A and B are shown apart, each in its own frame.
Chain A
């Protein structure tokens, strides 16, 4: 079904499977004043690979349920350091690796119970369950290039997981209006944590060339997040929808404990535009792709990304 002819939720009995891959180049970020910082010159630019899975089902023509999750891999290097002492040199490299599944999100959406012709409104709510590991795994630091007790390389390797650690509730609203080949869509989403979480930090001791580790617990509260999204679509042909989205997100109210004191997380904001297309390959198969360019922001990373998704639609229980 072309984008300009379909409602905001699935039809009764419709099963939709989305499988996506996002390639992101994390090469800049914004500081607290909204100034752009090059992570390349900061020595910490990195690449993110995200695999996204989503399953949705239409209970009726007006009610839809769904679930989604992702798998993310990202290795963030920090600026290498060399401590020189006479002819001795100790080099330190540091890698923060994020690897693993993200949490599982369950959602239900309702739309106004009228046949879709030119406008639609929907409400959505759900929960992100802490299904993925949140606490960081034990680091795997190592000594390499050992020449003498005072000349060697220390490779710090921190192993992080992608779970949030506590349930996150969210609710959202969307509206869509179609004027022939042009459609406009707007949506807003607000998410907030159900409770405080507990995590650990790893400390380590180096004796000879052997590291020993111990963990220290701390409490935290994930941020509340508001996202607002607007998009304009042009149905160039029955099989091709071109769109330009903009995306604004803002986080606040989270905190993290250090030495038994709670410190507020920096509030972040990010404004992104996403040009893209949706291609109807066959009645059951759709491909869509868009790129993300960040225009402004504060206190946050701003990776360029390219997302490609293959979408299967079917009516498995229809005879």
Chain B
């Protein structure tokens, strides 16, 4: 009898032990985590590289009265580019990130001038194109609240925007014949917090970032002969995000974002035409995780706003973890 009891105890102990065994993730598995299950910062020694292709057409804007209106002048303008993003995990809680944007902006305007006294019509058109590197940025992220214990994290981040893009118009041959600048011409620094909770197959997050714009100087108009001192309005980014797995390797993320920007200053003063601008946007994103390779498609749709552009931005992102 005692022998039977011992066998039963041993069998039960084995079963309990088996039941409590957690799947051990090997490094290759860790590199294949999805946007829902991955930690808020990269694991130590992991390196992720990727590029984000963005495309937007300038078509509508939010008026000062918060109405969404079409631009009425006959013009065609697109903003597109690649943003090359590199991330590295220094420790399991500390990550650095650098981004180098290559932008391509085109503005094409068509109009017709009619002079009745001379009975003459002149077609007047111009195209402004700019291609090249924009302003780069460097970001440090740290898990203030470690995610490992409870799948809950609080991440603090500091971001510095470096004005590597050309800040002044170049190749100026006339008022409507020049290459517009791609850079903003000033340093900016952003600090913020992001709270995130993973509850498989979901994850939730909320964030708040504040950007302080440092003063700078640049040529505002191609006809200017000297640079003008300016300081762009500081801005605030806040949002909430809800992500879910549609299956084991496809996730859908939903983000609502509030952007608020204070008034700009020119030569140390706020001009009369300056406005506070803000927008509330919704951004759905489909994220495909194929092993270590990630592709995502997103559209940022401005829903409400004031004194700023109201056009959707399409983003296609591809990333790989080495």
Contact = CB atoms under 8 A, between A and B. Distances in A.
A23 B73 CA distance: 22
Contact of B74 (A43, A47, A83, A85): A43
A45 interface: yes
A79 B125 CA distance: 10
Contacts of A118: none
Nearest to A78: B74
A281 B245 CA distance: 10
Interface string A18-62: 000101010100000000000011111111010000000000000
Nearest to A86: B117
A75 interface: yes
B117 A85 contact: yes
A44 B74 contact: yes
A83 B72 contact: no
A94 B73 CA distance: 8
B116 A27 contact: no
A132 interface: no
Interface string B96-138: 0000000000001011111111000000110000000000000
A82 interface: yes
A285 B59 contact: no
A282 B249 CA distance: 11
A47 B58 CA distance: 9
Contacts of B111: 43, 79-82
Interface in B64-81: 70-76
B246 A79 contact: no
Interface string B252-277: 00000000000000000000000000
Interface string A146-157: 000000000101
A72 interface: no
Interface string A276-290: 000101100101000
B179 to A, nearest CB: 18
Interface in A72-92: 75, 77-86
A97 B110 contact: no
B70 A75 contact: yes
A155 B71 CA distance: 11
A287 B73 contact: no
B309 interface: no
Given A23-B312, A25-B57, A75-B59, A41 B72 contact: no
A296 interface: no
Contacts of B33: none
Contacts, number: 82
Contact of A45 (B76, B250, B286, B297): B76
Interface residues on B, range: 20 to 34
A244 interface: no
A272 interface: no
Interface string A88-108: 000001110100000000000
A40 B76 contact: yes
A255 B116 CA distance: 36
Given A47-B57, A281-B247, A282-B247, A40 B114 contact: no
B60 interface: yes
B293 interface: no
Interface string B160-200: 00000000000000000000000000000000000000000
Nearest to A49: B312
A7 B246 CA distance: 25
Contacts of B72: 77, 93, 95, 155, 157
A41 B110 contact: yes
Given A40-B108, A281-B247, A287-B286, A84 B113 contact: yes
Interface of B: 57, 59-60, 70-76, 108, 110-117, 124-125, 246-247, 250, 286, 297, 299, 311-312, 314
27 contacts: A23-B299, A40-B110, A42-B110, A43-B75, A43-B110, A46-B59, A47-B311, A49-B312, A75-B59, A75-B60, A77-B70, A77-B73, A77-B75, A79-B74, A81-B112, A81-B113, A82-B111, A82-B124, A84-B113, A85-B115, A85-B116, A86-B117, A93-B72, A93-B74, A95-B72, A281-B247, A282-B246
Given A81-B111, A82-B124, 14 more contacts: A42-B110, A43-B75, A44-B74, A45-B76, A77-B75, A80-B73, A80-B74, A81-B112, A82-B114, A85-B115, A85-B117, A93-B72, A97-B70, A281-B246
Q: What are the 7 closest A-B residue pairs judged by CB atoms, nearest first?
A: A43-B110, A43-B74, A93-B72, A80-B111, A75-B70, A80-B74, A40-B76
